[in-house]
Structure 1
């Protein structure tokens, strides 16, 4: 399940957030994803329709901790059980927790959430799943498992991105205008073959699993690259990962133009552009166990 995909990090993938790659660049992309989208993640945690502050939170597909630390910041009395299939991601998360002096508030659990039997995650007040549910091979079963684990009245927050973030202007690069859209179209076709639930409306599935959907919100993400040098590195990492899986699906001309953008020594490198933005949408569903 989790991530045979070019779709990069959004996220703490449900189990190993790109398990077939398992490289340092993956960890870096997840960290950059957390940094670049931090403001939007905080706005989602602030919006959640909670009756009281949660004490026990589970972060499903936690990756390197983007959601975990946003939740710890938002709910200072809570502790988080962070679940992921990747030992590397969990080690990175633990290191961050120590750096932030919150290690006593974090427990990590390595688990493949596509297994029928999950480890005992306790009875949380809040379960958070950011960019992880669409990686599930059996999402209906996973939703029912979350429902049964939640404390009565507990909340389940499902957060998904609308596909890959876009970075370049539509007319870029000059020698191959519209290149990024063609790259994403090729990646989308590949992902549709492997992840049929990407882009799904989770509302009806949550209802079918026994939840009451209490809110749904879509947040437009549009971050100017001038605000953060991290955006250049983020764009580079995302498009490198996409390139690694769609090489045979691009024309030679598009592949050559993409390689120019990805060549950090080239004058055409993404890192040398001053017109990058991060453009996507994030949708969150808030569902309660009644």
Structure 2
């Protein structure tokens, strides 16, 4: 699901956190963002699978559109969940779509995947067919005009089709509250230092999409919030995921942090330091992910 976003901080799934994306997926591509979207997919795979299993579908979808697909976290989860479906994966990033196609070929399912490069902030969307299911994970909050994008989805959906909007509550947290030992609470202060940046650039992050869906002509059939908590001990990918996201947070937060906090953050991000984030054994991924399942009213 990606989700967020990217990447100056913002995450994936497609995100687009500052790190994701979900990724998302309305951001300019870069190798670091693609890596974070892939790590998001790996670390949160169980949660993405639980959302695809929960979707209140009347029939098995045959055609799915993944809006803001990023490097394919949602795409491949949906292809696994619905083995008879084919997917149109849409993203603004040519690099992300190239990586997604490569993964599809490696899995031998390239015939089930069509990629479309498009900027979904444009009113004139490309022909995406008439899908039974539209999936948008960590991408809708990046739209400059989400109301228009929602109306476009409504026109896109087949009669009786389902629209699933998946959003993270915010950028994941990784460190325990008492860490690092010399600057407890550093992570929360770094996040707070990015608030004005995100409020200006991604004002719909963390929004309640229910009312906006209703205005756009949808009926929300159900919604669900999942608490995400993944212990770092379960996967070394958690450390790399934390490192990538905190790197991006630093790029935005630095001017607002105290010299002491900035020094402590740089020490966490110094891979040669004995206090490197990658060496910590107390990391975990903590966030919330909400999904709204809607049909045309």
TM > 0.5: yes
Question: Could you tell me how far apart the structure 1 residues matched to 2:6 and 2:236 are?
Answer: 27
Matched-pair contact (CA < 8 Å) for 1:220–1:280: yes
Question: Could you tell me how far apart the structure 2 residues matched to 1:32 and 1:269 are?
Answer: 19
**Higher normalized contact order (CA 8 Å, seq sep 6+, divided by chain length):** 1
Return the offset for 1:241: 1.2
Match of 2:49 in 1: 42
Q: Which has the higher mean CA deviation after the structures are superposed, 238-247 or 131-140?
A: 238-247
Match of 1:97 in 2: 104
Question: Could you tell me how far apart the structure 2 residues matched to 1:116 and 1:25 are?
Answer: 29
Q: Compared with structure 1, are the counterparts of its residues 179 and 42 closer, same or farther at alpha carbon in structure 2 (3 Å cutoff)? A: same
Match of 1:138 in 2: 145
How is 1:113-192 mapped onto 2 (pairs within 5 angstroms)?
113-192=120-199
Candidates 66, 69, 81, aligned match of 1:59: 66
Q: 1:68 is paired with a residue of what secondary structure? A: helix
Candidates 24, 30, 37, aligned match of 2:31: 24
Task: Work out whether 1:6 is the aligned partner of 2:13.
Answer: no
Question: Could you tell me how far apart the structure 2 residues matched to 1:138 and 1:118 are?
Answer: 14
Question: Could you tell me how far apart the structure 1 residues matched to 2:65 and 2:286 are?
Answer: 28
Match of 1:193 in 2: 200
Task: Work out whether 1:261 is the aligned partner of 2:268.
Answer: yes
Matched-pair contact (CA < 8 Å) for 1:216–1:284: yes
* 1:235-260 deviations in Å (ceiling 9; x for gaps): 00110111122221211111111010
Question: Could you tell me how far apart the structure 2 residues matched to 1:179 and 1:12 are?
Answer: 24
Question: Could you tell me how far apart the structure 2 residues matched to 1:66 and 1:264 are?
Answer: 27
RMSD between aligned residues = 1.5
Question: Could you tell me how far apart the structure 2 residues matched to 1:242 and 1:9 are?
Answer: 14
* 1:159-197 deviations in Å (ceiling 9; x for gaps): 000111000000100110000000111122210111111
Q: Which has the higher mean CA deviation after the structures are superposed, 109-118 or 237-246?
A: 237-246
Question: Could you tell me how far apart the structure 2 residues matched to 1:192 and 1:231 are?
Answer: 27
Q: 1:203 is paired with a residue of what secondary structure? A: helix
Q: TM-score, normalized by length of structure 2? A: 0.94
Task: Work out whether 1:207 is the aligned partner of 2:210.
Answer: no
* 1:30-83 deviations in Å (ceiling 9; x for gaps): 100000000000000000000000000000000000000000000000000000
Q: TM-score, normalized by length of structure 1? A: 0.96
Question: Could you tell me how far apart the structure 2 residues matched to 1:256 and 1:17 are?
Answer: 31
Question: Could you tell me how far apart the structure 1 residues matched to 2:7 and 2:50 are?
Answer: 29
Task: Work out whether 1:242 is the aligned partner of 2:249.
Answer: yes
Q: 1:198 is paired with a residue of what secondary structure? A: coil
Candidates 110, 116, 124, aligned match of 1:109: 116
Question: Could you tell me how far apart the structure 1 residues matched to 2:33 and 2:95 are?
Answer: 10
Q: 2:266 is paired with a residue of what secondary structure? A: helix
Q: Which has the higher mean CA deviation after the structures are superposed, 249-258 or 80-89?
A: 249-258
Question: Could you tell me how far apart the structure 2 residues matched to 1:18 and 1:123 are?
Answer: 22
Q: 2:194 is paired with a residue of what secondary structure? A: helix
Question: Could you tell me how far apart the structure 2 residues matched to 1:221 and 1:12 are?
Answer: 15
* 1:217-270 deviations in Å (ceiling 9; x for gaps): 000000000000000000001101111222212111111110100111100001
Q: Compared with structure 1, are the counterparts of its residues 48 and 16 closer, same or farther at alpha carbon in structure 2 (3 Å cutoff)? A: closer
